[in-house]
Chains A and B, each alone.
Chain A
Amino acid sequence: MAWLLVQLKLRLLRNGLRSSAQAKAGFIISSVIAGILAIGTFAGLAALRGNDASVDLTTVVYTVLALGWLVLPLMTFGLDGTLDPATLALYPLRTRPLAVGLLAASATGAWPLANVIGLLGVTIGLARGPLGLLIAVLAVLIEVMFCITLTRFVTTWLAGLLRSRRGKDLAAFMIIPIFILYETFVQVVPKLTASGKLTAHSFTGIDSWLRWIPPGLAAHAIQDASTGRAGTALLRLALLAAVTVVLGWLWITSLDRALVTADDSTRTSAVHGTALRFGRYGLRGTVAARFWLYQRRDPTGLITWVLTAVIMVVAAVSTITKPHYMVGLMISAIFGSAFAGVYRANSIGNTGPAFGLEAAALAGRRALRAYFTGQDIVVGGMAVTLLTVISFALAAVAKHPVDGFLAMAVDVAGTGAALALANMFAVAAPYPAERRVGSPTLRPAEGYRGPAMGSALGTLAGTAIAVIPVLVGVLLTSGDPAAIRMPVLVLCAGAYGIGLAWAGVSIAAGIGAQRLPEITEIAVRSKL
């Protein structure tokens, strides 16, 4: 059974390579990243040799990798057919050989191998002497087994939920901490390291509590063995192995249950409220009501707002506490407003086949103008509120809270421009979107990466250009009293933004009325 499931996993990997050029590229990129992770982790752990905080840092690295094993399968669930026990439920298999087989399948592939290689960096960085080396190798193997058992237990335990709509929604939100972590590593850590605020010693003492969790046990076992405390080392390893065995037992138990339990998609919750809002505002209000509900209920919509907020903060973080804080404040406002449009530059394609329902009723320039206006009222209202709050928060961090009004002027003008561009791209260059199982965000269907990139870059660049008059206004009025300057700038920028949005709606409605069948056909091809 184990060998059969390993073969299945290898076959799935091989078929993934054959399916399309995009899948092939994805596999190659994934393998290259796994290789880089293996080498990087190995080198990073090896470089800790002689470092006072080596055991603390090793504990942190082991913990981060275990967290990766815990979180990533929840996001990519569905990509690995061997992860879902339901796919095997039809066959006459006993639980124990099935569990061994699934475990073996989990350990097959580039990423598990990369983990083993990377973690073996401790043989240089932390281990001393033959006993230290032996314990290090054992610790790495048990740690990887722990990670695999942990991920198997969690995915099996949640398998029913992850197949359901609500489970997928929940998993989608995991992109937020991951995106924040990514941005922190890419933007914040290098700056803190360069300024000397983050050193290896920053982690000293962090393992006072991490040492008691399984990855910490592995790291400390190696240190104990290296410093002659073989008994303690073996005790720690035994404890780690015991935790792994308990997890394995829990996993087999949940596997037994998962094979004969229906998924949770039938358990549903009712929504509150009895009617769509904005009823008296005609088609515009009707569309606004639908968009308003979607912004609240669709995780993709909520996630894009959080990502926009993160982008704004990250764009300003390096300069906001410095004398030239205005640069960060303005860049943050431009990025924030541009991304409010970027995420909606394919609004019809992202609506998917349901747009057919709207297209069956909408016809003509007038109806489409109402459609885009209704959409803009909701998205624009949310964007301006969010962007303004963040701009004022950043201005407060910079200790110049009143300058939040200047950023607000850019926010409102930028939002108007971004929505205008988004609406125009939505009808002029729509593309079918698709959602991979477990993936939080939509991506262009195969063969449509070019138009998607064009819409995103076009909206970004167009918004940046459109806010230039506001930036010029901010500069030219810098000597004027704030009490006059701020409201005038905000009002003028608001009128400018509304004007741009209105022009965008008119142009988009004109194009949309001409191309409605073609646009609908593209939307219907989306797989959401």
Chain B
Amino acid sequence: MSEPAIVVRGLRKSFGPKEAVAGIDLEIAAGSFAGLVGPNGAGKTTSLSMMTGMLRPDMGQVLINGIDVWADPVAAKAVIGVVPAESRLFERLSGEELLEYAGRLRGLPAGEARSRSAQLLDVLDLTADAKRLVADYSTGMRRKAALGCAIIHNPAVLFLDEPLEGVDPVSADVIRRLLTRYVSSGSTVLFSSHVMELVEQVCDHVSIIDKGRIVATGTTDEVRGGKTLHQAFIDLVGSRANDGEGLSWLGSSSS
């Protein structure tokens, strides 16, 4: 097995009395396409924020390629890329200015940042909109721009929080193909998602988080245990079904 790209040990975070992350341990091998799935409020975003140095944990350790994120944030940030759940983009920059800015923030020379920006815009199908302000971009275009910003410096590990939320199938396909290509070159992806079919399709490693704890982790086949990932997920976190009893008026036979 390859050396782990991401190692998480005893990560905890509380907000007041609410324990958002209750001590998680995780190990993702380099070159993996890993998924972190869980219901709303399970602690996915909090965990990813702590792994990427954006939210200080109460306890625990995060190692990226052997670098302790919280002991040496400068070195850790140099090897990671982050696509947060909510687009954190500069609305008043054009698409090409935004990507170039992200590249130069990462220390790329101006010419290189410009060249990579143009290539990424092309791959992400944003060239026609390169000179439009990000404020005028659609949800899918913003997600693609955010992905471009996260990978322009060619990080070794990429974290994505709900990367396909609100994205149309065409844009989703562009993102998926780019990520697959990125992983095939030996880089690592850890992304959170609600879309089980997507996780099942692209991930070779899955972790299920519920109520701030990892309840299952391993290869996708191990976690689903012969079932669909969707069913395995429901079995692990519990169904919250309510069949709408009481809505007797609902339906074409009623008025």
Q: How many A-B pairs fall under 8 Å by CB?
A: 109
- B105 x A283 contact (CB < 8 A): yes
Indicate if A361 sits at the interface (CB-CB under 8 A): yes
Indicate if B106 sits at the interface (CB-CB under 8 A): yes
Give complex CA distance A518, B49 in Å: 12
List the interface of chain A (C-beta within 8 A of B).
165, 265-266, 268-272, 274-276, 279-280, 283, 286-287, 289-290, 293-294, 297-298, 353-364, 367, 516-518, 520-521, 524, 528
- B102 x A265 contact (CB < 8 A): no
- Name, among B97, B100, B105, B111, the residue most crowded by chain A CB atoms within 10 Å (CB to CB): B105
CB distance from A523 to the nearest CB of B (A): 9
Of the residues B87, B114, B132, contact of A275 by C-beta under 8 Å: B114
In the complex, 27 of the A-B residue pairs with CB atoms within 8 angstroms, ordered by the A residue number, are: A268-B136, A269-B133, A271-B97, A271-B131, A276-B104, A279-B104, A283-B105, A289-B101, A290-B90, A293-B93, A293-B97, A297-B133, A298-B92, A354-B88, A356-B88, A357-B102, A357-B149, A359-B54, A360-B82, A361-B105, A361-B106, A362-B105, A363-B53, A364-B73, A517-B53, A517-B56, A524-B88
Give complex CA distance A276, B81 in Å: 22
Chain B 170-201: CB-based contact to A (< 8 A → 1; otherwise 0): 00000000000000000000000000000000
- Check A518/B56 contact, CB under 8 A, given A265-B136, A275-B100: yes
Which residues from B are CB-within-8-Å of A353? 84, 86-88
Indicate if B166 sits at the interface (CB-CB under 8 A): no
CB distance from A511 to the nearest CB of B (A): 15
- A360 x B97 contact (CB < 8 A): no
Indicate if B96 sits at the interface (CB-CB under 8 A): yes
- A270 x B132 contact (CB < 8 A): yes
Q: 5 closest pairs, A vs B, by CB? A: A279-B110, A356-B88, A268-B136, A361-B105, A270-B131
Give complex CA distance A528, B87 in Å: 12
Indicate if B135 sits at the interface (CB-CB under 8 A): yes
- A354 x B90 contact (CB < 8 A): yes
Indicate if B52 sits at the interface (CB-CB under 8 A): yes
Which residues from A are CB-within-8-Å of B106? 361
Indicate if B89 sits at the interface (CB-CB under 8 A): yes
Give the residue name and chain of the A residue nearest to B76 (CB). A363
- A297 x B132 contact (CB < 8 A): no
Which residues from A are CB-within-8-Å of B54? 356, 359-360, 517, 520-521
Give the residue name and chain of the B residue nearest to A351 (CB). B90
- Check A354/B91 contact, CB under 8 A, given A275-B114, A283-B104: yes
Which residues from A are CB-within-8-Å of B135? 165
Give the residue name and chain of the A residue nearest to B102 (CB). A357
Give complex CA distance A341, B80 in Å: 34
CB distance from B129 to the nearest CB of A (A): 9
Indicate if B236 sits at the interface (CB-CB under 8 A): no
Give the residue name and chain of the B residue nearest to A363 (CB). B74
Give the residue name and chain of the A residue nearest to B105 (CB). A361
Give complex CA distance A364, B72 in Å: 9
Which residues from A are CB-within-8-Å of B56? 517-518
Indicate if B59 sits at the interface (CB-CB under 8 A): no
Give the residue name and chain of the B residue nearest to A267 (CB). B136
Of the residues B77, B86, B107, contact of A360 by C-beta under 8 Å: B77
Given contacts A353-B87, A358-B105, A361-B102, 17 further A-B contacts (CB under 8 A): A268-B136, A269-B132, A269-B133, A271-B131, A275-B96, A275-B110, A276-B104, A276-B110, A293-B93, A357-B89, A364-B73, A367-B74, A516-B73, A518-B56, A520-B54, A521-B55, A524-B84
Indicate if B94 sits at the interface (CB-CB under 8 A): yes
- A271 x B133 contact (CB < 8 A): yes
Which residues from B are CB-within-8-Å of A521? 54-55
Which residues from B are CB-within-8-Å of A294? 90, 92
CB distance from A352 to the nearest CB of B (A): 8
